[in-house]
Structure 1
Amino acid sequence: MPDASLHANDASAFPMQSLFVPFPFVCFTIALGTDIVFSQTANVMWQNFSAWLLFIGLVFGALSFVAGLIDLLRRRTWPLRPSFAAILSYLVMLALGLLNSLIHAGDGWTAVVPYGLLTSAVTFFVALVTISLSIRKYARLAWRL
């Protein structure tokens, strides 16, 4: 019969930040899509979608940052923490998301075109870089490279 304490220890090694980290990536990516649609249609609904997506991404980004700090205190999650470059890239992505949210706080066409759209595209690019850096760390851990 398997020991129940082994399963409890395995669960404690799960990094809490993993629950929140994906949300900013998804929200910022969809915000780029809604910005593109807004630039093509000029329908204010798409600007509102972008603003809400940016807000939700920033809220979950803040939650993931707090959870990441808590994970630093948990010794069992140390092998699973991302590299310094991935953390720095993630923080840059969140800063760009905040800047983008401030740009989107304006009214009308100029709140999105051209600077909001450009900032969304740069945020998306930094998100791709962050994912690339994170995947390398987990691939090395999984394959013991």
Structure 2
Amino acid sequence: MVMSSPSDRDAAAYPIQSLFVPFPFVCFTLALATDMAFWQTGNLMWQNFSAWLLFAGLMMGSLAIPAGLMDLMRPRTRPLRPPLLSALLYLVILGLAFANNLIHAGDGWTAVVPYGLMLSAVTFVLCMVAATVSARKYARLAWRI
């Protein structure tokens, strides 16, 4: 006979989307860093790094969407769901990153400067806003406020 402990029940309530959401944030932040490196040096290697980082972030972000939809169906993850504002921000971030990826598909200097760099900066700022909104909910949940 298998008995489940409270820690087993808590582990079952872990949202699946939490496995995928951090990857786009890291990739988009590094894409901003490599865009700035390209802006300062003009070395095409940095443009290629940016394009690949944007692609990797979009792929992991696209995996987070079905994982988030599965979490919506699981009643045990209800307290751990992100607020609606951060979910909408995640979708806006992915849309901006997709547009940025299309801009980075060009050749040379104009593929990054100025529009690619600006989109990377806006995406980074929205990532910070989404992280702040999500962190506030989790802090309230931890302190039961």
Same fold (TM over 0.5): yes
Measure, in 2, the Cα distance between the counterparts of 1:72 and 1:5: 24
Aligned to 2:93: 93
Aligned to 1:22: 22
Measure, in 1, the Cα distance between the counterparts of 2:101 and 2:111: 10
Measure, in 1, the Cα distance between the counterparts of 2:139 and 2:6: 24
The one-letter amino acid paired with 1:88 is L
Aligned to 2:76: 76
Written as runs of structure 1 = structure 2, the 5 A alignment for 1:45-84 is 45-84=45-84
Structure 2 gap ranges (5+) = none
Measure, in 2, the Cα distance between the counterparts of 1:144 and 1:7: 19
> What SS does the corresponding residue of 2:69 show, helix, strand or coil?
helix
Deviations 1:5-38 (A, max 9, x none): 4343222100000000000110000000000000
Aligned to 2:112: 112
Aligned to 1:103: 103
Residue 134 in structure 1 maps to residue 102 in structure 2: no
Equivalenced residue count is: 143
The one-letter amino acid paired with 1:71 is D
Measure, in 2, the Cα distance between the counterparts of 1:27 and 1:110: 21
Measure, in 2, the Cα distance between the counterparts of 1:71 and 1:35: 34
TM-score, structure 2 as length reference: 0.95
TM-score, structure 1 as length reference: 0.95
Measure, in 2, the Cα distance between the counterparts of 1:130 and 1:6: 31
Measure, in 2, the Cα distance between the counterparts of 1:81 and 1:4: 23
Q: Give aligned-pair identity as a percent.
A: 64
